[in-house]
Amino acid sequence: MTTPIMTLNAAAKYPNRRAYVVKVRHDATPDALAGRVENLVTGRQLEFTSGRELLESIARDLGVEDGHHD
């Protein structure tokens, strides 16, 4: 009887280094989104004052992680 070999995928689909917490300010509204996004692994925190800035902050952080800087 052969035992199947289990392999570990080193490249996780959702790696922890790309996990974020989004904290929305108490006075934020759907039309005026504001808060802070934090990378759970690096602890890097970025403020945002709109949905667009939130996405740009995450994209910028991913660029730093990949070695691309603004």
CB 52 within 8 A of CB 43: no
* The model's pTM: 0.72
Per-residue model confidence (pLDDT) at position 12: 83
Query: Domain for residue 6, yes or no?
Result: no
- In-domain check, residue 7: no
20 strand-pairing partners:
39
Q: Is residue 50 included in any domain, yes or no?
A: yes
Domain count, the chain: 1
Domain that holds residue 20: 16-65
pLDDT digits (tens, 9 = 90+) for 1-40: 677 787 766 778 888 899 999 999 999 999 999 999 999 9
Phi and psi, residue 54, nearest 5°: -60, -50
